Amino acid sequence: MVTMVSFFEREEYCGVILSQYDPHLLDTFKLEMSQGIERFFLLSYCLACCWPGLGAKNDLRVVRQWAELDFVFPSEEAKQIAIQKRYYVPGNSVPIDVDVHHRQGPYPSRIFVTNPRFDEGRPITLGTVDDTGRIVAYPDYSWHDNQGSNCGGMTSVFRVAIDECQRLWVMDAGKIGDKQVCPPQLLAFDLATDRLIYRHVVNSSNYLEQSLYVTPIVDVRPRGPGDCANTYVYVADVSAYSILVVDVMRDQSWRTTHRLFYPFPSRGTFTIDGESFDLMDGILGMALSPYHHGRDRFLYFHSLAATTENVVNTRILRNNSYLQDANIDPDAIYVFPKERPSQSAAEAIDQNGVMYFGLMDPPSIQCWNTATEFSPRNFHTVAANQETLQFASGVKIVKNAKEEQELWVLTSSFQRVMTGSLSPDRMNFRIHAEKIPVILANSPCKNSPNGQKPGYHVNLVDRSSDGHKYRPTRYGSASYL
């Protein structure tokens, strides 16, 4: 027999139960409940009754979570050496990006995470997650223990990208903290063998003292079945406000600049879960429209300190005349008139033209069908959680062994990193995932209006020619006198 009780009776009963738990434990209970663990059924009932906002939509599963990262060393001696040299400081590591390699046959899938060295104590800057959640150096530890003394290894990796040719692209910023200890370099590994197959060391003319290359986007443009040679990589320079374009087939690169790569001063303050910090980062989030043979693709992008979204035809970026002049025609890039409700970090677009991105406030993952107007009325919530989705720094679309699309997201309590309030007593970093068909099953994002194809809205605003007009660089009103 079911006994009905009033709201106030439920509230009083739940209050007694919840008062017996530590708040950090309750955070863990909430996370576990989202995964459907039956032993927390009663507590789930109480929280649903008494905790406002807990019933928010969340269609992502937590795959991994950490209070702090732990690492696999080749030996105990290697670990002690790293500790002595402060190459390893427990609790200092902050994962930023995630990508996944689903392998055929008996081989297990691999989850890649990055751990950039914007401070000391990060022993491994790129690794895979083992069965216990520890980070294993990729491709091996010798690539990471140099800590800037060997530029043939990896110095600091913010983000990676796996392409359809089963290559892992790694953008090594070459910095430890603010010090440029090695030139930036773009690496590619064959995921079948884990061997290095391409290295492009960025020429000194293509980066500045403040440059920080953080986000690589891979554009494979096949000229026939199985062709992977014709590849371009677009890389965001978050601190010197530029896009580096690497022509892989010709092994050359050029730097492009535009006013929309800059941060917006009015958007440089971030408030997440009640904590605020300032960060004046420029272009960071980037995503490519789906590939269609014989058609150009569009690169969507935004600065971290911004609430706007921009788009450019990639044929403009692929113009190697930027080797002589880095300035893009001011009219070649379009900024959408409407804005996001708050700032966003990473973004990704699936094969159907649906974009996924995180919002800082409220902490959530949103979707937007690129066939519609870029506007909050066309943004729809994929997942929302005040604690677990606070800063989505890694967002990827991955195809599994069955050719099904998956959304993978890495989130962190980045505001606590910035304010120095990070605590090992609570979960700070998480990897989330779900299949795209599950996410979009009941979402308006899967429907294009009036039969419009993905990218239709972009086609309306693509007004540019080659995007490159030679003009003198001028600073300030005095230059016109």
Q: Are residues 245 and 151 in the same domain?
A: yes
Q: Are residues 75 and 177 in the same domain?
A: yes
Q: Is the predicted pLDDT of residue 24 greater than 60, yes or no? A: no
- Cis peptide leading into residue 116 (ω within 30°): no
The pair of three-digit structure tokens given for residue 74, joined into one six-digit string:
């080749």
Q: Is the predicted pLDDT of residue 41 greater than 70, yes or no? A: no
Q: Are residues 46 and 65 in the same domain?
A: no
Q: Are residues 112 and 203 in the same domain?
A: yes
What are the distances in angstroms from CA 277 to CA 282, 346, 415, 420? 16, 18, 7, 11
Q: Are residues 37 and 74 in the same domain?
A: no
Q: Is the predicted pLDDT of residue 15 greater than 50, yes or no? A: no
| 457 falls within a domain | yes
| 56 falls within a domain | no
Q: Is the predicted pLDDT of residue 38 greater than 70, yes or no? A: no
| 433 falls within a domain | yes
Question: Domain range spanning residue 19?
Answer: 7-50
Q: Are residues 263 and 286 in the same domain?
A: yes
Which of the residue ranges 128-137, 264-273, 290-299, 444-453 would you say has the lowest mean pLDDT?
Answer: 444-453
Q: Are residues 128 and 22 in the same domain?
A: no
| 2 falls within a domain | no
78-117 residue pLDDT tens: 999 999 999 999 999 999 999 999 988 888 999 999 999 9
- Name the DSSP class of 281: -
Percentage above 70 pLDDT, the chain: 81
30 band by pLDDT with thresholds 50, 70 and 90 = very low
| 55 falls within a domain | no
Distance CA(76)–CA(65), nearest Å, equals 25
| 477 falls within a domain | no
Q: What residue spans of 283-389 are helical by DSSP H?
A: 314-317
Instruction: Please give the tally of structural domains in the chain.
Output: 2
Residues in CB range of 413: below 8 A, 6 or more apart: 272, 273, 390, 391, 422, 426, 428, 429
What confidence score (pLDDT) does residue 34 get?
42
Mean pLDDT of 440-466: 73
Q: Are residues 147 and 285 in the same domain?
A: yes
Percentage above 90 pLDDT, the chain: 75
Q: Are residues 276 and 397 in the same domain?
A: yes
Distance CA(69)–CA(71), nearest Å, equals 7
What confidence score (pLDDT) does residue 61 get?
95
SS3 113: strand
CB of 375 closer than 8 Å to CB of 338: yes
What confidence score (pLDDT) does residue 70 get?
97
Highest-scoring range by mean pLDDT, 11-15, 448-452, 473-477: 448-452
Q: Is the predicted pLDDT of residue 252 greater than 60, yes or no? A: yes
| 37 falls within a domain | yes
- Please report the beta strands in 174-251, taking only residues with DSSP state E, as ranges in sequence order: 175-176, 179-180, 185-190, 195-201, 213-220, 231-237, 242-247
What confidence score (pLDDT) does residue 74 get?
97
Q: Is the predicted pLDDT of residue 476 greater than 50, yes or no? A: no
Single pTM value for the model: 0.85
Mean pLDDT of 199-209: 96
Q: Is the predicted pLDDT of residue 322 greater than 90, yes or no? A: yes
Q: Are residues 145 and 12 in the same domain?
A: no
374-429 residue pLDDT tens: 999 999 999 999 999 999 999 999 999 899 999 999 999 999 999 999 899 999 99
| 257 falls within a domain | yes
CB of 163 closer than 8 Å to CB of 149: no
CATH number of the domain bearing residue 455:
2.120.10.30
Q: Are residues 205 and 162 in the same domain?
A: yes
Q: Are residues 188 and 46 in the same domain?
A: no
